[in-house]
Amino acid sequence: MSDLCAPTFAELAVRLGFSCDEAGGLIEFRNPAALENWTLPVLEATIVLGSILALVHAIVRLRRHRDPTNLVLWFGATAYLFVIEPPLYFPAAFGIEEHVDTMFAHNVFTVDFLWGRLPLYIVAIYPLMATLAFEIVRMLGVFRRYGVLAGAVCVGFVHHAFYEIFDHIGPQLRWWEWSLDNPINQPFFAAVPLPSVVVFAALWPMSLALCVQFFVGRQVDAGVEFTGLQLVRRTVVIGLLASVGTFVLPLPATVIGVGSDTVRGIVYAAELVVLAVVAVVLLCRRWSELRANASSPRGDRNGFVQCYAVVYLVVMGVLWVTALPFYFGAEDGVTGKGDPIGSLWYTIACFGIAIASVLATVTIPPIAGPSAAVAPAEESAPA
């Protein structure tokens, strides 16, 4: 597949330790013990297992409670992945090479698709992260109390916290490599492009959550049941519209920041600050309401999400601790091995937010009575 080995991707692949020309076909398997370092199979196992369990949980929830929301969320996130990522891997094949050069390259993992471009764990991380963030917000009843848009903002914020823990350590551990010269990646925040920090960590999950809750979740809360064909159609629409949302939501930074990386970075940061402030206020207020009134409508407690969020945070905590010696030995943002480092203080803040989000779902009182969880949202804000 050398005809699809763009020069930028080939260069990034060499820096990661593999050859673009020798990357396998549609699917390739490798010995996990022969990967770049031990953290790659650990990350891969954690994410893939979590995603599979999230899918199983979604199926069980559909069968037991006739609630397809999690299943639509899982497949909607996967549909979004296959809309967004292939053009980024093969811009020439999609006729956009004059506008979009290679932005990044993933390292090779145990299972890879598309000639070394798409590791299995990347396919898995989209639905897993979306499930964790969406269910934390739903458990707190934000959608029921404040409406679809407010809930989606909170999902974007929670997802951002979980994702940035992973995003800021990936380059140092050679999970992927960013193209430093690509203007789309500018400006950088430590080792991470600020557009990734804002768009892929916060705005795309916000867009996905808004679509899932609008097209499926709120109807399920109101007692509506869907046929299989209706769910398939809505899942496809959700994947497509979430992709459109990922283009629309960053438009202020895209338009205002034309010609200036600094201005674009300021607007990106401002969007993230606004989202964070709104989400923190809503989540704290909702937690306080639930502590004071156990009968306030909210989602059922999701033990899988609570447990696996802890598993994810523990694994990432261990990976970060093992990376700290090289992190603190770095000079000018680069370790002695030549790997860029992320922002430790930002990661610590994200750990704090993620832990607080999980604790919030654990520290609210149980649902008071069988009708509380399914009560119509007389408290709810309009969608």
Does residue 250 form part of some domain? yes
Task: Provide the residue range defining the domain that includes 71.
Answer: 39-86+121-363
Closest by Cα among 180, 216, 210 to 334 = 180
pLDDT digits (tens, 9 = 90+) for 154-194: 999 999 999 999 999 999 999 999 999 888 899 999 999 99
Structural domain includes residue 8: no
Rounded CA separation 163/315 (Å): 13
- Whether a cis peptide bond, with omega within 30° of 0, leads into 187 is yes
Examine residue 106 and state whether it is found in any structural domain, yes or no: no
Say which DSSP state 213 is in: I
Give how far Cα 302 sits from Cα of 139, 149, 236, 361, Å.
Answer: 7, 22, 26, 9
Q: Which of 140, 142, 62 is nearest to 367 (CA)?
A: 140
CA dihedral 9, 14, 19, 25 (to 10 degrees): -40
> In the structure encoding, which two tokens stand for residue 308, read together?
């696996």
pLDDT tens digits, one per residue of 65-108 = 899 999 999 999 999 998 888 887 887 777 777 777 888 999 99
The verdict on residue 238 lying in a domain is: yes
For the chain, the domain total comes to: 1
The answer to the question of residue 326 being in a domain is: yes
* Residue 344 within any structural domain of the chain: yes
What single letter denotes the amino acid at residue 322? T
Coil, strand or helix: which one is 249?
coil
pLDDT tens for each residue of 319-357: 999 999 999 999 999 999 999 999 999 999 999 999 999
Whether the predicted model's global pTM rises above the 0.75 cut: yes
